[in-house]
Amino acid sequence: MYKYDTYDQTLVDARVADFGDQVARRLSGEMTEDQFKPLRLMNGLYLQLHAYMLRVAIPYGTLDSRQMRMLGSIARDYDRGYGHFTTRQNLQFNWIKLEDTPEILAKLATVEMHAIQTSGNCIRNISSDQYAGAAADEVGDPRPWAELLRQWSSFHPEFSYLPRKFKIAVIGAEQDRAAIQLHDIGLQMRRDDAGELGFRVLVGGGMGRTPMIGSVIRDFIPAADLLSYVEACLRVYNRYGRRDNIYKARIKILVHELGAPEYARQVEEEWTHVKTLGLDPPQAEYDRIAAFFAPPAFAEGLPTEIDRSDAGFAHWVDQNTAAHKAAGYAIVTVSLKPTGGIPGDATADQIDLIADLAERYSFDEMRITHSQNVVLPHVQRQDLRAIWDALVAAGLATANLDLVTDIIACPGLDYCSLANARSIPVAQKITERFADPDRQRDIGELKLKISGCINACGHHHAGHIGILGVDRKGEENYQLSFGGSAAEDTSIAKIIGPGFSEDGVVDAVEKAVETYRGLREPGERFLDTYRRVGLQPFKAAIYGDAGSTTPVREPVA
């Protein structure tokens, strides 16, 4: 893992002092709320429905046990005992007092953490593959590049007042676990024909109210030129991105209106100039950062066989662990999606427990996933049973990774001032409806994502099944869409028809799942069957053959 040197620490400490000063000026009335807002947002502080929410950056989702325990401690001392892991691989505290925030930031700084640029119209936390450095299918490790991008984007003087927020994701594998096609900039490491390392650059993806898939604007930028090229991408956006309408201000609209080839041409022209400015760090800086991400000292000669006689344990191993590049190791995903729970929430005690497990069994390292779970990236297979036992005792052993109950959901109207509808209760009801583990396993991979408004923080556009909560004449109403994906086969889900009540949408999901089970061919996921057969059979099952909105049956208790 990356460790701060005195430069990094000094800059984060300076930001704590800066923000303390800003809060004092706000509390004294020297600054208006309107003036304070962009400053607090650039420190991750939102005013929500009931309280301030503080979003803490977890750069590319990577953290150690000391940092994780600090999050637990803040949850205990300043929140109501919970932390909420987000789809941007960050953590949010939902019950924060404004006057406590400078102290919280000071505590975070003691463990090399901060809330810099976790909100605001600036470059946000760089996200990445949660299996980086552990996956078997990597061209290279994306984390050193993510760290270079983190430093380059921190306090960037030209790009702190962009038209809108800006999200960059970087991966080093063929399999896309970070949704790069749905980011403002997506970067995929690759090698050219000569074996040189570089990146494919996608621009203009995003969800929100106008979902778009990113366009490849350059198939290969040499790694040594990455930062200057991204600088050129941002400069074209900062100068020409729309500022007349907040809903058209993301870069995807600029790329769409210009056309990707014309945007790419402007970037190339700008880059011809920008690359002469010496903005790219030298190889030595990359080497310095990459050394922090050298593979840990994996033991050799480890047993790979494990005792699978306990069926619950065996199911968890099958579902929640992934292949590791080192023999005898596994990648463990700790699910934060228990039946009836709030997706992504963890108690302070659970946070501490996961930190303990990481310290003891995973080279003191964890990753937060965009699906709101926690990964222990480097675990010996012979330790899986001990880890599972500890997780069972803490209510963290739900064996549902990528299954129908592994739901992404935004905080929704329970917390968010933008929401039109609640997301959490829908997620809770769906996990209860599909609680039977055998049934979930039989259904197989099914990514279900719920947003409480069209801003799409719950990624409903990218769900195999997506649910969007809207306000219809003062009533919460839920639109259902099928066919989305955030993986390497990225697609945008399509709305299937009229919306439903909260219970109605749970029933409709169940009908869709049963329709899939009736139609699937061997090996097909829900998404595959839907893509093969189309919407019609699902629509008929859900709405009736006439396509009417006949109420669907109540579940049998």
> Cβ distance 378 to 362 under 8 Å?
yes
> Cβ distance 466 to 480 under 8 Å?
yes
Minimum distance, C-beta of residue 275 to another protein, in the bound complex (Å): 12
For the record, the structure tokens of 509 come out as 């999901």
Task: Between 241 and 458, name the residue whose CB sits nearer to another protein.
Answer: 241
Whole-number Cα distances in Å, 214 to 179, 187, 252, 486, 496: 10, 11, 8, 11, 24
Task: Between 161 and 247, name the residue whose CB sits nearer to another protein.
Answer: 161
Minimum distance, C-beta of residue 284 to another protein, in the bound complex (Å): 5
Minimum distance, C-beta of residue 63 to another protein, in the bound complex (Å): 21
> Cβ distance 536 to 546 under 8 Å?
no
Minimum distance, C-beta of residue 25 to another protein, in the bound complex (Å): 7
Task: Between 38 and 498, name the residue whose CB sits nearer to another protein.
Answer: 38
Task: Between 10 and 548, name the residue whose CB sits nearer to another protein.
Answer: 10
Residue 114: strand pairing partners: 57
For the record, the structure tokens of 14 come out as 């300076």
Residues 339 and 398: their CA atoms lie apart, in Å, by: 8
Minimum distance, C-beta of residue 157 to another protein, in the bound complex (Å): 4
Give the binding site for another protein (CB under 8 A): 5, 7-8, 10-11, 14, 17-18, 21-22, 25, 30, 35, 38-39, 121, 151-152, 154-163, 235, 238-239, 243, 273, 277-279, 281-282, 284-285, 288
Minimum distance, C-beta of residue 283 to another protein, in the bound complex (Å): 10
Residues in Cβ contact with 198 at an 8 Å cutoff, skipping those fewer than 6 apart: 189, 190, 191, 192, 220, 221, 222, 223, 226
Task: Between 119 and 490, name the residue whose CB sits nearer to another protein.
Answer: 119
Task: Between 159 and 388, name the residue whose CB sits nearer to another protein.
Answer: 159
Minimum distance, C-beta of residue 164 to another protein, in the bound complex (Å): 10
Minimum distance, C-beta of residue 255 to another protein, in the bound complex (Å): 18
Task: Between 10 and 304, name the residue whose CB sits nearer to another protein.
Answer: 10
Helix intervals (H) in 157-310: 226-240, 251-258, 260-274, 283-292
Minimum distance, C-beta of residue 201 to another protein, in the bound complex (Å): 19
For the record, the structure tokens of 23 come out as 């809060």
- The side-by-side arrangement of strands in the sheet containing 185-191 is 127-128, 168-171, 185-191, 197-203, 215-222
Task: Between 200 and 288, name the residue whose CB sits nearer to another protein.
Answer: 288
- DSSP strand pairing (215-222 vs 321-323): unpaired
Residues 500 and 18: their CA atoms lie apart, in Å, by: 48
Burial class (CB in 10 A: 0-12, 13-18, 19+), 192: exposed
> Cβ distance 421 to 380 under 8 Å?
no
> Cβ distance 466 to 484 under 8 Å?
yes
Task: Between 80 and 239, name the residue whose CB sits nearer to another protein.
Answer: 239
